[in-house]
Structure 1
Amino acid sequence: MQYWLFKSEPNTWGWTDQVAKGDTGEEWDGVRNYQARNFMREMKLGDLGFFYHSMKEKSVVGIVEVCAEIHPDSTTEDSRWECVDIKAVRPFSTSVSLDQIKTDPRLSDMVLVKNSRLSVQPVTEEEWQIICALGQTDPS
């Protein structure tokens, strides 16, 4: 299993929107960055990810699961852009802020710390365990 982080502006698509989609999930569409798209190409069914609210909130608020592997993004006719589908698994008991992540020396090499603009990014297993512990949330 691999771990990921999906960033979204909560006023555009927030955790409650994701939860409302239930087990069918929703396309993680609209990604127009080649590196982020390429990360989605690596994703497999059952991979887990952090749902991260960007903009003002800047925090991990929940866990999602990849429920459909890479396929054409339905929001464009351009075949270069693909996406996966994700579904909500559970909310974090306590959200974990970007400030908490940046000040934890164990997370200093995390992509979120080094390239905070990337909307889809990998998370190591160690980073996954640390952030779940910080958020008092079951990592499995």
Structure 2
Amino acid sequence: MKNNYWLIKEEPTKYSYNDLINDKKTVWDGVGNNLALKHIRKILKGDDLLYYHTGKEKSIIGIAKVIRGSYSDPNKDDKKFAVFDIKPVKKLTRSVTLKEIKSNIFFNDFDLVRIPRLSVMPVTKEYWSEIIKLSNKKYDV
């Protein structure tokens, strides 16, 4: 069974990738956007995640893994809310900035560029591979 690829966003002052490393795992919750919730409902154990820092950083910082697929948020009465559990895999060799992604025509159809406020989104295998490749290259500003 092939795994899926996703990008999740968080404000680093709220919960950074380093916090995830320190905690070793967490429940990914607090998402209220309907499209993001639709994506969350498709997330399965074993899926891979790009961890994106919002705010001033605006960059993909690390890789995480889904350790429990989508389930109803136990802290909400409304079953429309879904959560999933993740663990850190590794920090990227170099963060890949939103500016860098936007300046690359390859990413023009990427939801990160097209729907900037979306907090959970699918990532194609091609986008995933290119982001990993970029994270291993020196970036000239």
Alignment TM-score, normalising by the size of structure 2: 0.91
Structure 1: state its 5+ residue gaps: none
User: For residues 45 and 60 of structure 1, what CA distance do their matches in structure 2 show?
Assistant: 21
User: For residues 71 and 43 of structure 1, what CA distance do their matches in structure 2 show?
Assistant: 9
In structure 1, the partner of 2:130 is 130
In structure 1, the partner of 2:109 is 109
Superposed counterparts of 1:53-68, under 5 Å: 53-68=53-68
In structure 1, the partner of 2:8 is 6
The alignment yields a C-alpha RMSD, in angstroms, of 1.2
Does the aligned pair in 2 maintain the 1:15–1:61 contact within 8 Å? yes
Q: How many residues align?
A: 135
Structure 2: state its 5+ residue gaps: none
Does the aligned pair in 2 maintain the 1:30–1:75 contact within 8 Å? no
Could you list the runs of 4 or more consecutive aligned residues of structure 1 that deviate by over 3 angstroms after TM superposition? Answer: none
In structure 2, the partner of 1:121 is 121
Q: Does 1:84 align with 2:84?
A: yes
User: For residues 89 and 69 of structure 2, what CA distance do their matches in structure 1 show?
Assistant: 17
In structure 1, the partner of 2:17 is 15
User: For residues 78 and 19 of structure 1, what CA distance do their matches in structure 2 show?
Assistant: 30
Does the aligned pair in 2 maintain the 1:30–1:73 contact within 8 Å? no
Alignment TM-score, normalising by the size of structure 1: 0.92
In structure 2, the partner of 1:70 is 70
Give aligned-pair identity as a percent. Answer: 37
